[in-house]
Amino acid sequence: ITGNPSSHPALSVKWVEDFPDIPLNRNEAYKLRVTSKGVEIEAITETGVYRAIQTLRQLTEKKGNGIAISGCEITDWPAFRIRGFMQDVGRTYISTDELKREIAILARYKINVFHWHLTENQAWRLTLQVLKKSLTFFKTVRIITNGKFKKQIFGIIGNGTSSWMVMNNTNL
């Protein structure tokens, strides 16, 4: 397919019940065909269509003032159900705009899990919407007892009129 970005080649999406030849992760699988007449996508779910569009974006080349996509036929599915990335903003200190750019790039490469490490601070506040209370104090302490690591988590939850103590001891 060649043309300028303002022209719209034919794009069709066909929903299928199953891909019997695909061994795993069928909900993200797709078939993509690019011909001189247009682009055809077959998928079981919206996720499969999204993955096909990401592949189509990767195949797009600039040609002068227009774009070109080489003819191809692709059947694709992820080898792994979880494909992840962790961003540790507690240590790297990047801007919100940079974080949004990173997430957009991850989506283009079909990364489906984003683990966000927010803080290095052991005492931080969060609001528990389910309980409609604010966690006013939270601390994690790691101690060693008889040569074994033991993790003791404790906190105080308060809503301004009363407080509750929360404790959890876990052997590591």
Tell me, what's the pLDDT at 151? 53
pLDDT in tens, 51-110: 999 999 999 999 888 889 999 999 999 999 889 998 887 777 788 899 899 999 998 899
Full 3-state SS string of 131-144: CCEEEEEEEEEEEE
Interatomic CA distance for residues 171 and 161, integer angstroms: 34
Interatomic CA distance for residues 25 and 75, integer angstroms: 13
* Contacts by 134-138, CB closer than 8 A, 24 or more apart: 134/158, 134/159, 136/163
Tally the residues of the chain: 172
Q: Taking the CB of residue 28, how many other CB atoms lie within 10 A of it?
A: 22
Tell me, what's the pLDDT at 67? 87
User: pLDDT higher for 29 or 91?
Assistant: 29
Cα 160 to chain centroid distance, Å, stands at 37
Q: Is the whole model's pTM more than 0.85, yes or no?
A: no
Q: Which of 69, 45, 73 is nearest to 58 (CA)?
A: 69
pLDDT in tens, 113-166: 888 887 666 555 555 565 555 455 545 555 556 666 555 544 544 444 444 444
Tell me, what's the pLDDT at 122? 56
